[in-house]
Amino acid sequence: MSTNFYVLPGNEHVPTYKEVLDLANININAYLSSIGIQHEVDMSVNLQNTETHSQVEFDITDTITQSETEYAWFYIPTVPGGTGCLFCKMLPDENDAWKDEIEVNPRARKYRENISKSLALGYQWVLRRSAGQPAIIALAYGMLAASLASLTDGIIYSDDGAWDYSTLPACADEFLTRYFRHEHAVEDNTRVLLEMYLDKLKSGS
């Protein structure tokens, strides 16, 4: 089982791997410091083939626009696991899907203009994390989504339990005030999972 964050850009700037890494590391370490953890994280990235998972040559200053046969693998060298990032063209049925979402989701209505801009641009990023990974990877995965959204004036969305559906879509600043913050977790499942993650982060496991 895996969960996904979708990042819908709001401008034409396509960030580099380095830009996203630098900002994500800042946000991760700021969050850890805010809960009393002074250990600093230094995340890294590889480009990998979607079929073989073998590494593909790339430059960290390349833009995150890899082909459909490749994905970015963000990881922390001292921790098992990581999170994949796909660059995806919008499919023809995305317009109808978002029309339906805007009808039923007040948050989507709030960000209607942002969604329209993203659909016009025609692409998005999908960050995927499989279940059972260390707490720091779950934290990093959301911070990567926030970094992509921040750098592109974009929004973050998920409907599969990556975070509280009732708080999404959200812009980067709004997302950062809520993500991994127990006082802002809405759904029971999110609160229970977050309590476990926070215990593991503070115990270093």
pLDDT, tens digit (0-9, with 9 covering 90-100), for 35-87? 999 889 999 999 999 999 999 999 999 999 999 999 999 999 999 999 999 99
What DSSP string runs through 56-110? E---TTSBS---TTEEEEEE-TTSS--EEEEEEEPPTTHHHHHHHHHHH-HHHHH
Distance CA 108, CA 111 (A): 5
The confidence score (pLDDT) of residue 174 equals: 97
The confidence score (pLDDT) of residue 205 equals: 63
109 contact partners, CB below 8 Å, separation of at least 6: 102
**CB 130, CB 118: distance < 8 Å:** no
Residue 88's DSSP bridge partners are 124
Distance CA 9, CA 115 (A): 8
The confidence score (pLDDT) of residue 106 equals: 97
Give the other-Cβ count within 10 Å of 131's Cβ.
Answer: 9
The confidence score (pLDDT) of residue 20 equals: 98
The confidence score (pLDDT) of residue 27 equals: 97
pTM of the predicted structure, to 2 decimals: 0.96
Distance CA 89, CA 94 (A): 10
Domain locations in the chain?
A: 2-203
What does the block give as tokens for 74?
A: 């963000």
Q: What are the pLDDT tens digits along the chain (205 aa)?
A: 899 999 999 999 999 999 999 999 999 999 999 999 988 999 999 999 999 999 999 999 999 999 999 999 999 999 999 999 999 999 889 999 999 999 999 999 999 999 999 999 999 999 999 989 999 999 999 999 999 999 999 999 999 999 999 999 999 999 999 999 999 999 999 999 999 999 999 887 6
Answer positive or negative: Cα dihedral of 191, 170, 76, 51: positive
